[in-house]
Amino acid sequence: MFKDFFKIFSRDIGIDLGTANTLVYVRGKGIVLNEPSVVAINKKTNQVLAVGSEAKTMVGRTPGYITAIRPLKDGVISDFEVTEQMIKYFIDKASEKFFSFISRPTVVIGIPCGVTQVEKKAVRDAVLSAGAKEVFLVEEPMASAIGVKLPVQEAIGNMVVDMGGGTTEIAVISLGGIVTSRSLRVAGDEMNEDIIQYARDEFNLLVGEKTAEEIKILSGSAWPLEETIEVPIRGRDLVTGLPKEVIVSDEQIRKAIHRSVRTIVSNIKSAIEETPPELVADIMSQGIILVGGGSLLRGIDKLVSQETQMPVRIADDPLSAVVRGTGVIIENIDALREVLVSIEDEKVPT
């Protein structure tokens, strides 16, 4: 009875703690927050100046003593203290309009496949330190599959490819577990780096990460387009040191990111090769589901379909698939407990 009473006032939340963006789901309210995973810090005082959208506007535009950083790299925590402060900010902001005086929240949070026990504990400890009462971990492709309403608990093969900012997660799911998986440190950020390197090699042009991401969004593709897209790319000439602008086409950007795209496609094929034949037959019927920001790369579904000889579809609202999955879990924690990831705490030798 008391458990049900407190549940009414609960602000339990699900979090997609991404390398590029963090999304938060509040029980009974839906997705309430979607902000960049960026923190601005004053290096003189070690004080956090801004988090999220406000901090991202400072990237590349701050004086020397202020640095705007992303505390997660390749999907895992690279700066524990800053990550803890960022999570606390997001939890507080997401729940500021709701009852928060009764109890601390239970949190379900997505993590990449294949992370180590140390990395799992780092995520759990950061969320607990940020104010959570209890923390449950779920692998991101599993959360994505639940978020797009795939029958993950049935004896049916489901294949999900989650292309995020720091990692690409590839998984075949059946009976509430991951049968085959791949976790690549090749995703949207790597494509941005490819564009930066291409501009340097081809045009002697130095561009920033934010500019590279904008070029990728405006003209990036994995498949030849019917109509050519041309966009200006602006930066600093490495020869003269002066501002410079060049016009690039979608074909040039496709060439720039080709290596990263091929790496992702090759790993999708490898995952299929390791999948039991009965589940492969299911996937041929169900199709491969693409989620995450990388699924919005023009023509990526056509390329994956051609290379795998399987139907491929992009999920509805692919950017929020993981956080919607954590939301479904937080709303039905008892029924979906089997999909959660366990953490093996090290035993202290006696």
Per-residue pLDDT of 249-283, as tens digits, reads 999 999 999 999 999 999 999 999 999 999 999 99
pLDDT of amino acid 1: 42
Tell whether 88 and 199 lie within a shared domain.
no
- Average pLDDT of span 197-209: 95
Query: Is 335 within the bounds of a domain?
Result: yes
Tell whether 248 and 329 lie within a shared domain.
no
Our measurement of the distance from residue 305's CA atom to the centroid of its chain's CA atoms, rounded to an integer in Å, reads: 22
Query: Is 9 within the bounds of a domain?
Result: yes
DSSP-derived pairing of the beta strands 134-139 and 106-111 = parallel
pLDDT of amino acid 46: 82
Tell whether 245 and 276 lie within a shared domain.
no
The model's confidence at residue 10, banded by pLDDT at 50, 70 and 90, is low
Tell whether 8 and 82 lie within a shared domain.
yes
Structure tokens belonging to residue 344: 């093996």
CA distance 334 to 317: 26
DSSP-derived pairing of the beta strands 13-17 and 21-26 = antiparallel
Tell whether 222 and 297 lie within a shared domain.
no
Q: Which domain holds residue 31?
A: 2-36+74-142+322-339
Question: Which alpha helices (H) appear in the chain, and where do they start and end?
Answer: 2-8, 53-56, 80-95, 117-129, 140-147, 188-203, 209-219, 250-256, 258-273, 277-286, 300-308, 321-331
Tell whether 164 and 235 lie within a shared domain.
no
Tell whether 128 and 272 lie within a shared domain.
no
Query: Is 67 within the bounds of a domain?
Result: no
Tell whether 28 and 88 lie within a shared domain.
yes
The count of domains in the chain is 3
Query: Is 333 within the bounds of a domain?
Result: yes
Per-residue pLDDT of 79-138, as tens digits, reads 888 888 899 988 888 877 554 545 688 999 999 887 888 888 999 999 999 888 999 999
The model's confidence at residue 164, banded by pLDDT at 50, 70 and 90, is very high
Tell whether 275 and 296 lie within a shared domain.
yes
Nearest to 23 by CA among 73, 87, 68, 74: 87
Query: Is 232 within the bounds of a domain?
Result: yes
Contacts of 219 (CB under 8 A, 6+ apart): 229, 230, 231, 248, 249, 250, 253
Domain harbouring 231, CATH code: 3.90.640.10
Tell whether 265 and 168 lie within a shared domain.
yes
pLDDT of amino acid 97: 56
Query: Is 31 within the bounds of a domain?
Result: yes
Tell whether 104 and 207 lie within a shared domain.
no
The model's confidence at residue 5, banded by pLDDT at 50, 70 and 90, is very low
Q: Which of 51-55, 60-64, 233-237 has the highest mean pLDDT?
A: 233-237
Question: Which alpha helices (H) appear in 275-320, and where do they start and end?
Answer: 277-286, 300-308
Contact, 341 vs 176, CB < 8 A?
no
Domain harbouring 180, CATH code: 3.30.420.40
